[in-house]
Amino acid sequence: MAKAILPDLTDTRLTRAVQGVDHLGQPSDLRVVEERPLTIYLNAQEIVTAMTIGDHPKWLALGFLRNQGMLHDTDVVTGVDYDDEIETVVVRTQVQTSYEDKLRKKTRTSGCAVGTVFGDMMEGLDRVQLPPTPLRTSDMYHLAKVINTTPSLYLDAGAIHGSVLCQGRDILLYTEDVGRHNAVDKIAGFMYDQKIPAGDKMLYTTGRLTSEMVIKTALMGIPALVSRSGFTAWGVEIARQVGLTLIGRMRGQRFVCLSGANRIQYDADLSTISEDPKAARRKGARDE
């Protein structure tokens, strides 16, 4: 297994130091996450300007276009050009493209930093066939512990979401951004660029399990989506329609699966898994 690609805390462009005052009126230095625009072009057509932390612009552009149905597996990408000065990335394909009709129809999503999708959000979902890849609870607990303790911008500065591409109990790529949609688009772009198959993967996100996250995961061909956060009703409904395993509220020993439970193999020894401190306190209060 190749070495995992993790958040780069040495990249000084991603955060900055800001001075303020604390609750006692004393000086307080804090690191905050940067937020900058990235304009994505597909050939000669401007597609979108996304607010992002600025890392992995190539993967973000490829993944965004892939998840919006503007870039297909059969397309031949002839180049991806990124200009840091004007904060623009241009994806070039062998065959010229035009998406004027699709660009006219926009849907603003619930994603942080204002997610935007184009055209019919449900387009292509009726053709999704997710494989019955088993999901072992022992792997899930291991990954949750590793992910929650991995040095990251979230632990360093907060105000950011993470998405993690996993295989078995291994992390392949850990991305972060101000919007969860950007973080998962980077993973989609990485998979597209490296030609990584999706059927045996799991996607872990630190954010809510919204319709947008479910749609993107399903269209990427990943059969399982896991989060320590909660669900939206439409996210659950779509996951059930496409047969996606959807697991949320994963903290300590606990999780809730609202779709695709047939993939879960309960092989973990819970006596070896630490209970979530908040859950333990609530249980103790009920027992008194």
Selecting from 3.30.413.10, 3.20.20.70, 3.90.1300.10, 3.40.140.10, what CATH number does the domain 135-287 have? Answer: 3.40.140.10
Q: What's the pLDDT score for residue 281?
A: 41
pTM score: 0.88
Q: What's the pLDDT score for residue 110?
A: 43
110, burial (CB in 10 Å: exposed 0-12, middle 13-18, buried 19+) = middle
Percent of the chain with pLDDT over 70: 88
Q: What's the pLDDT score for residue 69?
A: 87
In this structure, the number of other CB atoms found within 10 A of the CB of residue 1 comes to 9
Distance of alpha carbon 59 from alpha carbon 232, whole angstroms: 27
5 is written with which tokens? 């690609």
Q: What is the largest CA-CA distance in the chain?
A: 69
Exposure string for 145-154, b = 16+ CB within 10 A, e = fewer: ebbbebebbb
**Per-residue pLDDT reduced to its tens digit, 107-137:** 444 444 444 555 556 777 888 999 999 999 9
Top-level CATH class of 36-122? alpha beta
Domain ranges for the chain, please list them: 36-122, 135-287
Q: What is the DSSP track for 230-259?
A: -B-HHHHHHHHHHT-EEEEEEETTEEEEEE
Q: Mean pLDDT over residues 190-202, rounded?
A: 97
Span of 116-130, 177-191, 273-287 with lowest mean pLDDT: 273-287
**Per-residue pLDDT reduced to its tens digit, 222-259:** 999 999 999 999 999 999 999 999 999 999 999 999 99
